[in-house]
Chain A
């Protein structure tokens, strides 16, 4: 369990808000869209494959859900990831709505924070 959460913290938590966190305070819609798409849709990207945040979550969460269903951080993470799943089509649109992008950025930050809190609580 500890190892699985640690892996999720590294793979998801480190990259899901990587570019979003580095944006200037009031980014243009284009910059925001680029950062959100990179972080949420290409969360892990290497020479051979690209994995979206939701795919990472879907691969890891079934094994964690039963044991952590009551963990507040897990619930927050679940909520943030569902938000990203819901906003997926909106952020890939040709002309994405700025509010959708801001919501997605907010979910990504919440997911990054929640997975770190989850890791700490599991270790305790």
Chain B
């Protein structure tokens, strides 16, 4: 369900859209720039429908100057509003609800994201088709199958870089913290964009015994090692003509590193215990959490292999929180992906059947208004508070953790709704913010790494209270920094209630913390 803002001084287009295109939420009409900018700043908007002529008083018009022709300003007010939108939201799709023909002499800002009607006779079917095509492009902009790119500058650059590297012959190195989607990218982006028709083969070197790594990658002949009772094809041969993804490449043994170097240099593979060279054409993608340069420096990773892996073009994936994601869109994306799995989909279908709602379509609402019931439509609702809890979390497990929390949230919510409580809408699966917070608390216990770490020096006579207070003190400092010194936000994180800021501030003072010192960077 897309959020569409209508900017128009008339009511009729908004009424038509709500009636004829119920699958999307139409807000407005905002009557002029003042209302439009307020609405745009308030929340997520996927598309704007913007009229051209605004019959407004002079004080409500943009572009009014001394001695100007007011009627002319009204007639082209939509162009003025478009210019103002472009200054603040340069990539927001805007449909001018007029034909390009009508504006043949006008220049419009942000042509790439500005659309016109094919004809200025507005037809709901044509408008729906146009909206769908804009939204499809937008979805395509921020997702590739299971890969969520979002719209951050850093991810756009990574996407461009990987698109180039995917087509080349050289290896691709993916690095970055756990859960940032290295294996997803290798399979669903690098391999998909490589133009190769062979298989995608993945080998996780962190789970292989080191002495089996070489045989797994390069194959072996019978009797090459203890227990080798038959000839074995290696991953390189299996991936011939395709892509081989080596996860945690830093775990390769010294022997396997040498063999890998040979394959990369010579383009043929020799099974362990064999003399026959077999040509292979494989796109190699490696992923690592390790700092391979440091490993070269300490002698545990071959310098020549490191060079051959093409480290100059290594792609480092950022942490989820550093991508500044659109949380509502990320929730939608993750729910849609989760519901493609048969288990969760089955649970949802059972729930719909219990409430006598024939399930034809699932609509995800994250942080928005609950739509009116519609036959065959089940709404998965993440209310504002749940969305805020998700966006306030630091996601040390990154996108993998996010997907798991979202999937768990739906699963638990469905279990809680085993019988639809009286008075509740059977077509709505609402994810309570408390459930989300509980899941996040559990997630914080998981050893995923990357989150804040506190250290306490144990002294001979340190009491438990003293140790606990020190940890609490460090935690408060961390939270204070994360929330920009906002006690309300700290209270929301600590107590789930932003109105308890005063209580948190009192405890802050009791712990001997001083805002002035924290601002000044003093301990």
A residues adjacent to B (C-beta < 8 A):
3, 6-7, 9-11, 13-15, 17-19, 21-22, 38, 42, 44-47, 112-113, 116, 119-120, 123
Which of these, B11, B20, B104, B123, contacts A47 with CB under 8 Å?
B11
B121 contacts A21, CB within 8 Å?
yes
B residues in contact with A9, CB < 8 Å: 102, 120
- Indicate if the CB atoms of B13 and A120 lie closer than 8 Å: no
Q: Flag if A6 contacts B102 (CB, 8 Å).
A: yes
Chain B residues with CB below 8 A from A45, complex form = 10-12
Docked-complex contact A17 and B120, CB < 8 angstroms:
no
Contact residue among A7, A21, A38, A42 (Cβ-Cβ distance under 8 Å from B123): A21
Q: Say which residue of A10, A47, A113 sits within 8 Å of B52 (CB atoms).
A: A10
Q: Separation in Å of the A120 CB from the closest CB of chain B?
A: 7
Task: Report yes or no: B11 in contact with A46, Cβ–Cβ below 8 A.
Answer: yes
Task: Identify the B interface with A (CB < 8 A).
Answer: 9-13, 16, 20, 31, 52-53, 55, 72, 75, 97-98, 101-102, 104, 119-125
Given A46-B9, A120-B101, A14:B20 Cβ within 8 A? no
List of B residues within 8 angstroms of A10 by Cβ: 52-53, 75, 98, 102, 120
From B9, B72, B97, B121, give the contact of A13 (CB < 8 A). B121
How far apart sit A75 and B20, CA to CA, in the bound complex (Å)? Answer: 33
Chain A residues with CB under 8 Å of B102's CB are 6, 9-10, 119
**A contacts with B: majority SS:** helix
Question: Beyond A7-B75, A38-B12, A46-B10, is A14–B98 a contact (Cβ under 8 Å)?
Answer: yes
For B16, the chain A residues whose CB sits under 8 A away are: 18-19, 22
B20 to chain A, nearest CB (A): 5
> In the bound complex, do residue B121 and residue A22 qualify as a contact, i.e. CB atoms below 8 Å apart?
no
Which B-chain residue is minimally distant from A16 (CB atoms)?
Answer: B121
Q: Offer 30 A-B interface pairs, CB within 8 angstroms, sorted by A.
A: A10-B53, A10-B75, A10-B98, A10-B102, A11-B53, A13-B121, A14-B97, A14-B98, A14-B122, A15-B12, A17-B121, A18-B16, A18-B122, A19-B16, A21-B122, A21-B124, A22-B16, A22-B123, A22-B125, A38-B12, A44-B10, A45-B10, A45-B12, A46-B10, A46-B31, A46-B55, A116-B119, A116-B121, A119-B102, A123-B104
Alpha-carbon distance between A9 and B123 when the two chains are bound, in angstroms: 16
Max chain B C-beta neighbours (<10 A), residue from A19, A44, A46, A116: A46
Q: Please judge, given known A-B contacts A7-B75, A10-B53, whether A112 and B121 are in contact too, CB under 8 Å.
A: yes
Instruction: Identify the closest chain A residue to B74 (Cβ).
Output: A7
Question: When chains A and B are docked, how far (Å) is the Cα of A3 from the Cα of B75?
Answer: 9
Considering the chains assembled together, what is the distance between the CA atoms of A38 and B14 in angstroms?
13
Task: Give the complex CA separation of A8 and B337 in angstroms.
Answer: 48
Contact of A116 with B120 at beta-carbon distance under 8 Å, contacts A15-B12, A45-B11, A46-B10 already known: yes
